[in-house]
């Protein structure tokens, strides 16, 4: 149980990779602060985490691109658990469009979810991680070396995240 007693915030934990990370961390003894946009999915993930051994889980439903929500997430986590040891910036969006079909909205949304949210959530959590000697994990992609057709904006956001990391 390598993470026994550690508290991890995991963004984008209502499905996919984030849900898998939450379950894996549960098996290792971590306490969890999970966030995503889908309450029902988050509640299902919590059930799976409890089956895997985690008994202390907080959920916050909201949009990680919103500064007020990020602040609420950090404040509610700190209030419940008293510390933050790990931040997993996992929330992501894979917007696929060609140069011809790309819009400012697609670009803005992709950058907001894949780059800005991790940057500013890390900024908020950093003082707590310094105190606990904690860690940040940023979920990227293996696809930055070869761009699939229509994946330019998505890959740009992940290359920028890699640079931030």
Decide if 43 is inside a domain: yes
* 3-class secondary-structure state, position 31: strand
pTM of the model as a whole: 0.94
User: Has 154 been annotated as catalytic?
Assistant: yes
Decide if 2 is inside a domain: no
Q: Tens digits of per-residue pLDDT, 87-125?
A: 999 999 998 888 888 999 999 999 999 999 999 999 999
Catalytic residue among 154, 155, 157, 158: 154
User: How many domains does one find in the chain?
Assistant: 1
CATH number of the domain enclosing 146: 3.40.50.720
Decide if 40 is inside a domain: yes
Q: Tens digits of per-residue pLDDT, 40-75?
A: 999 999 999 999 999 899 999 999 999 999 999 999
Which tokens hold the place of 40?
């029902």
CA distance 123 to 117: 10
As to burial, measured by CB atoms within 10 angstroms (0-12 exposed, 13-18 middle, 19+ buried), residue 79 is exposed
Decide if 72 is inside a domain: yes
* Domain coverage including residue 77: 7-164
State the pLDDT at residue 143: 75
State the pLDDT at residue 41: 97
Half-sphere exposure of 90 (CA within 13 A, CB side): 23
Decide if 35 is inside a domain: yes
Decide if 84 is inside a domain: yes
Q: What is the DSSP string of 43-94?
A: HHHHHHHHHTT---EEEEES-TTSHHHHHHHHHHHHHHHS---EEEE-----
Over range 78-89, report the average pLDDT. Answer: 98
Decide if 1 is inside a domain: no
């Amino acid at each position: 149980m390598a993470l026994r007693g550690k508290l991890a915030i995991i963004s984008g934990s209502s499905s996919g990779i984030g849900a898998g990370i939450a379950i894996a961390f549960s098996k290792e003894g971590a306490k969890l602060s999970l966030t995503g946009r889908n309450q029902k999915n988050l509640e299902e993930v919590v059930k799976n985490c409890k089956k895997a051994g985690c008994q202390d889980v907080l959920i916050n439903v909201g949009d990680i691109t919103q500064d007020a929500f990020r602040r609420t997430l950090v404040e509610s986590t700190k209030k419940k658990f008293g510390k933050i040891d790990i931040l997993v910036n996992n929330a992501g969006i894979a917007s696929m469009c060609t140069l011809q079909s790309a819009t400012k909205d697609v670009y803005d949304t992709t950058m907001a979810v894949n780059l800005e949210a991790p940057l500013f959530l890390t900024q908020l959590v950093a003082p707590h991680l310094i105190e606990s000697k904690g860690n940040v994990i940023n979920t990227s992609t293996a696809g930055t070396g070869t761009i699939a057709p229509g994946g330019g904006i998505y890959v740009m956001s992940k290359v920028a995240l890699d640079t931030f990391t």
